[in-house]
Structure 1
Amino acid sequence: MKCLVLSGVLLLGGCAAFAPAPPAHQDNLCDVFRQQPDWYDATRASYEKWGTPPWTQMAFIKRESSFRSHVRPPRTTLLGFIPWTRPSSAYGYAQAQDPVWGEYTDDAGGLFSSRSDMDDATDFIGWYNARTQRMTGVSLANPEHLYLAYHEGQGGYQRGSYRAKPAVMRAAREVATTASRYRGQLAACEAEFRCDGFFEVWPFCRG
């Protein structure tokens, strides 16, 4: 869901109010897509364009934002109680930071791409992982190492910076575990979300 552009003015007020609520059952990808069927379409479009499977995309997003569209890292405090700066510019479903988001919009996104829009977030993850594959050789079927490169950057990944960060390695393993579980779940329910034709009704869909 993108905010409206009217008479050349970007209407940001109220956008957060219309953002989808985070899924109630985030450990089951079928339940996630049943609550937000458009998210399935977003992951399929990204998969067909860039090659990262839907289950890996959604495992990344679960880890990064718990499916919250406008989340940012919490502010630090000054003197222990005064709200201060945020530790990074990460924002949105994919927690993309400003510099790399700018690279994405210049290369593959567009002027109105939004980190709080699931279509753009999944496209960003697909784009980033495709770049990881080109630069490092990591397979798009390897969510653990894709996430390490996602967190550390391709250069950091190649330098092995994650090896000194046990929390990052643990997070990558958790992403891989989630992706594996999501893959098995989606295999059992994906037909529900492939009913695109007007007269198609699950379980009698084509393909």
Structure 2
Amino acid sequence: MKKIFTALAFVLLVSACGGGGGKPPRNLDNACSIVSQKSGWLKSMKAVQRKWGIPVHVQMATIHQESKFVSDARTPFRYAIGVIPMGRQSSAFGFSQALDATWKEYQQDQRRFSAKRDRFSDAVDFMGWYMDGSSDRLGISKYDARNQYLAYHEGRTGFARGSYNKKAWLVRVSGAVADRSEMYRSQLIRCGKA
């Protein structure tokens, strides 16, 4: 009986430590629900807000668009002739959908070589670092979710060239990110988490 109890306690301990990292929160349309389910996430996002100046609601809206809060999100596969897999659309991975090269640049610049794209605290720190750079180099307000998202998606060079102007779908998406950011901001104020 003692062995069974010990084994059960071990399984419960391991599952508690895992925290369901890859499982997104329920009700992604409610910022208060998200941060109540994932309390450590709010702490991480507030740390990013203090360090980089990127508001929590802008971080949340961007993560929602990029990964729907799925830790190991990846881009879809490309197919030749509709059936032969040709690899993924890009190297984007994790909560922030950071590309391999940009992630490596962040790790080197911040000397955070053990940072992981599927660890929430690392993903939001990356996002804060990138958006802070976009603010410095492109003059985008840290509160401007729409243009921060466009620079995040297109890269700073693409944003500066206005590459998004040829992508009506992306302009619509950036508007949706801005709307979600404002929705999250209002919700966080109402529940006292702003």
Shorter-chain TM range is: 0.7 to 0.9
Q: Distance in 1 between matches of 2:133 and 2:169?
A: 24
8 A Cα contact 1:109 1:120, kept in partner: no
The Cα offsets for residues 122-170 of structure 1, whole Å up to 9 and x where unpaired, read as 1011100000011110111111000010011111111111100111111
Q: Which runs of 5+ in 1 are unaligned?
A: 1-15, 194-207
The Cα offsets for residues 69-96 of structure 1, whole Å up to 9 and x where unpaired, read as 0011111123321222111000000000
Q: CA deviation at 1:17?
A: 9.1
The Cα offsets for residues 48-79 of structure 1, whole Å up to 9 and x where unpaired, read as 00000000001000000000000111111233
Moved more, 124-133 or 82-91: 82-91
Matches within 5 A, 1:68-83: 68-83=70-85
Give the direction of change, closer, same or farther, for the CA distance of 1:55–1:109 in structure 2 (3 Å limit): farther
The Cα offsets for residues 103-123 of structure 1, whole Å up to 9 and x where unpaired, read as 110112511100001101110
Normalising by structure 2, report the TM-score.
0.87
Matches within 5 A, 1:1-207: 18-108=20-110, 110-191=112-193
Structure 2: which amino acid aligns with 1:21? K
Normalising by structure 1, report the TM-score.
0.82
SS in 2 for 1:69: coil
SS in 2 for 1:85: strand
Give the direction of change, closer, same or farther, for the CA distance of 1:17–1:88 in structure 2 (3 Å limit): farther
Q: Which runs of 5+ in 2 are unaligned?
A: 1-17
Structure 1 residue ranges (4+ consecutive) displaced by more than 6 angstroms after TM superposition: none
- The sequence identity of aligned pairs, in percent, is 38
Higher percent of residues as helix:
2
Residue in 1 aligned with 2:6? Answer: none
8 A Cα contact 2:22 2:72, kept in partner: no
Q: CA deviation at 1:20?
A: 4.3
Q: CA deviation at 1:186?
A: 0.3
Residue in 2 aligned with 1:202? Answer: none
Q: CA deviation at 1:18?
A: 4.5
SS in 2 for 1:190: coil
Residue in 1 aligned with 2:7? Answer: none
8 A Cα contact 1:42 1:122, kept in partner: yes
Structure 2: which amino acid aligns with 1:72? R
